[in-house]
């Protein structure tokens, strides 16, 4: 028993176990001598030897557990690492902040039943202006300084240019949206660029009203900016809608009490909206006694600018990773 307690490794213990309890072991050997004993002593002797075997086995097991614990402790100490050292960073692709924003918009509008489509950036004058009810030689076109490519083609100034292309091919009911790039011939500064991105979303069905527009915008805004956001309409003019409105959301940062983001007004203007102008529907053979539609647009850059406090539009297309890596992918 002393030898068991003194064993300093599981290996030594294994040897003791073999010496005393193994097939050739001391105690096993004792048991074999039982045949030479008188019959009346046999039971007692057997019991004593077995009890001794059990005691030795228990002592060995106990010592083994102890040694295992000690050996493990030593091993774990040897294998210790500093978990605060930096991890092996995998190379993980990051989405551009505009892509991440567009993807959120796509998820929300897709979830509201709108189908995602795209149309050309290099657009015909017809779809960018004429098809959208711009009268010829009208100052409304002055608000959108246009890059002209030739007599027919221009760089679209608004994603609304998709509407004519859709109305040409599809019949109501339809719910469509797009996210894309637009161009205006403007000098570049912190808040202006010649290239930026827009969402355009529209539906045409029986009985579509300004209330449906407000409901959809409300749902969209709450999904994008938070569950307390409210929508406000203000009359405005765009040739392709009648009535036309400019819509704002209650400031999600201050709840409408006024802060730096909303410049103290409690409201943040997001874009233009309205009911699709009946002239447009009629031009595409859609019966305006039966059908009506709504449309709204907004700028993509505005959303991360507002959400993250970005103060210069130029960052978006300059691709400085020190900028891009600041935002969730």
Partner 1 sequence: MKFPFAMLRDFVETRLGPAEVGDLLTMAGFELEGIDQVEGDTVLDIKVTPNRGDGLSVFGLSREVLAKDAEARPTDLYERACRRFPMPDDGDEGETGAFATVTIQTEDCPRYACRMFRNVPQGDSPEWIQRRLRQAGMRPISLLVDLTNYVMLELGQPLHAFDLDTLAGPEIVVRRARAGEKLTTLDGTEHELAPGQMMICDAEKPVAVAGVMGGLDTEVTPATMNVLLESANFRNTTVRRTRKQLGLNTEASYRFERSVDPEGVVAALNRFAELLETVDGGSSRVYGVIDRYPGRLERHPIRLTVGRTCRLLGLDVTLDQCRNYLARLGMDVTEADGDLLVVPPSWRPDIVREDDLIEEVGRVHGYERIPEVLPQGSTPQGGVSGVYARIDLLKDALLRAGCTQVVSHSLVGTSPLDDPSAERIGPKNPVSADAAWLRSSVLPCLADAARRNGAKDLWLFEEGRTFAMGAGGPVECRRVGIYAQGALLPEHWRKGDPGRADFFAVKGILEELLSFLGLQGEWSAGSDPRLHPTRQASLLLGGKPAGILGAIHPDVARDAGLPEDCVLAELDVDLIAQTPAEPPRFRAVSRNPAVRRDVAILIDKGVPYAEVERAVAEAAGEVLERQWLFDVFEGQGIPEGKHSLAIALQLRKLGGNFTDEEANQVRDRVVAALESLGATLR
Kindly identify the residues of this chain, within the stretch 164-203, that bind partner 1 according to CB under 8 A: 173-175, 181, 183, 185-188, 194-195, 203
Residue 45 contacts by C-beta under 8 Å, 6 or more apart in sequence? 34, 37
Binding of partner 1 at residue 264 (CB under 8 A)? Answer: no
Per-residue string for binding with partner 1, 221-250, x by CB under 8 A? ----------xxxxxxx-x--xxxxx----
Interstrand relation of 291-299 and 267-276 (parallel, antiparallel or unpaired): antiparallel
Closest contact distance (angstroms) between CB of 324 and partner 1 is 7
State in angstroms the smallest separation of the CB of 219 from partner 1. 6
User: Binding pattern to partner 1, positions 118-157, x when CB under 8 A?
Assistant: x-xxx------------xxxxxx-xx---xxxx-xx-x--
Of 266, 259, 261, 253, the C-alpha closest to 302 is 261
Largest CA distance in the chain: 131
Which part of the chain contacts partner 1 (CB under 8 A), choosing from 40-48, 56-64, 69-77, 208-216?
208-216
Q: How far apart are the C-alpha atoms of 13 and 28, rounded to whole Å? A: 17
Q: Which of residues 275-294 bind partner 1 (CB under 8 A)?
A: 275, 277-278, 292
# chain residues binding partner 1, by CB under 8 A: 93
Of 12 and 121, the one with the shorter C-beta distance to partner 1 is: 121
Among 29, 110, 264, 309, which residue interacts with partner 1 (rule: CB under 8 A)?
110
**CA 19 centroid distance within chain:** 66
Residue 261 contacts residue 270 (beta carbons within 8 Å): no
Instruction: Pull the structure tokens for residue 44.
Output: 């007692």
Minimum gap (Å) between residue 84 Cβ and partner 1: 12
Find the shortest distance in angstroms from Cβ 170 to partner 1.
Answer: 9
As measured in angstroms, the least distance from the Cβ of 75 to partner 1 is: 21
The contact mask relative to partner 1 for 61-100 (x = CB under 8 A, - = no) is ------------------------xx-xxxxxxxxx-xx-
| Nearer to partner 1 among residue 46 and residue 120 (C-beta) | 120
Smallest separation (angstroms) from partner 1 to the CB of 180: 9
The smaller minimum CB distance to partner 1, of residues 28 and 223, is found at 223
Neighbours of 82 (CB within 10 A): 5
In the complex, minimum distance from the CB of residue 309 to partner 1, in angstroms, rounded to a whole number: 20
Which residue in the set 53, 165, 214, 315 belongs to the binding site for partner 1 (CB under 8 A)?
214
Q: Which is nearer to partner 1, 12 or 205 (CB)?
A: 205
In terms of Cα–Cα distance, which of 241, 180, 235, 182 is closest to 208? 241
Contacts 24+ apart (CB under 8 A), 250-254: 252/225, 252/226, 252/228
Helices then strands (H, E): number in the chain? Answer: 11, 9
Q: Is 25 in the site for partner 1 (CB under 8 A)?
A: no
Residue 87 CA, chain-centre distance (Å), reads 23
Nearer to partner 1 (CB atom), residue 35 or residue 207: 207
Classified as helix, coil or strand, 4 is: helix
Residues 6+ apart with CB under 8 A from 1: 55, 56, 59
Query: E strand or H helix at 106, and its extent?
Result: helix 97-111
C-alpha 85: how far from chain center: 28
Structure tokens, 253 = 């940062």
In terms of CB distance, is 147 or 284 closer to partner 1? 147
């Amino acid at each position: 028993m002393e030898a068991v307690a003194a064993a300093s490794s599981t290996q030594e213990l294994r040897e003791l176990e073999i010496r005393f309890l193994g097939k050739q072991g001391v105690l096993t050997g004792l048991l074999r001598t039982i045949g030479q004993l008188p019959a009346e002593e046999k039971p007692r002797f057997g019991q004593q030897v077995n009890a001794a075997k059990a005691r030795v086995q228990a002592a060995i097991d106990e010592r083994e557990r102890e040694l295992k614990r000690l050996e493990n402790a030593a091993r774990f100490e040897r294998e210790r690492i500093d978990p605060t050292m930096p991890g092996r960073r995998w190379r993980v692709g990051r989405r551009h902040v505009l892509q991440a924003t567009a993807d959120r918009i796509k998820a929300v509008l897709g979830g509201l039943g709108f189908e995602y489509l795209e149309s050309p950036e290099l657009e015909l004058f017809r779809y960018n202006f004429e098809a959208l009810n711009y009268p010829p030689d009208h100052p409304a076109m002055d608000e959108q300084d246009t890059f002209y490519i030739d007599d027919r083609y221009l760089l679209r100034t608004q994603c609304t240019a998709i509407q004519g292309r859709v109305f040409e091919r599809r019949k109501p009911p339809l719910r469509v949206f797009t996210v894309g790039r637009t161009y205006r011939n403007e000098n570049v500064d912190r808040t202006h660029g010649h290239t930026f991105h827009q969402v355009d979303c529209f539906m045409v069905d029986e009985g579509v009203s300004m209330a449906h527009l407000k409901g959809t915008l409300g749902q969209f805004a709450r999904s994008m900016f938070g569950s307390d956001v409210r929508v406000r309409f203000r009359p405005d003019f765009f040739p392709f809608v009648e009535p036309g409105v400019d819509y704002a959301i209650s400031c999600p940062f201050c709840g409408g009490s006024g802060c730096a983001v909303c410049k103290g007004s409690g409201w943040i203007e997001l874009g233009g909206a309205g009911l699709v102008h009946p002239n447009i529907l009629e031009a595409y053979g859609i019966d305006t006694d039966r059908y009506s539609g709504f449309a709204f647009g907004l700028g993509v850059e505005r959303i991360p600018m507002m959400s993250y406090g970005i103060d210069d539009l130029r960052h978006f297309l300059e691709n400085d990773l020190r900028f891009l890596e600041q935002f969730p992918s």
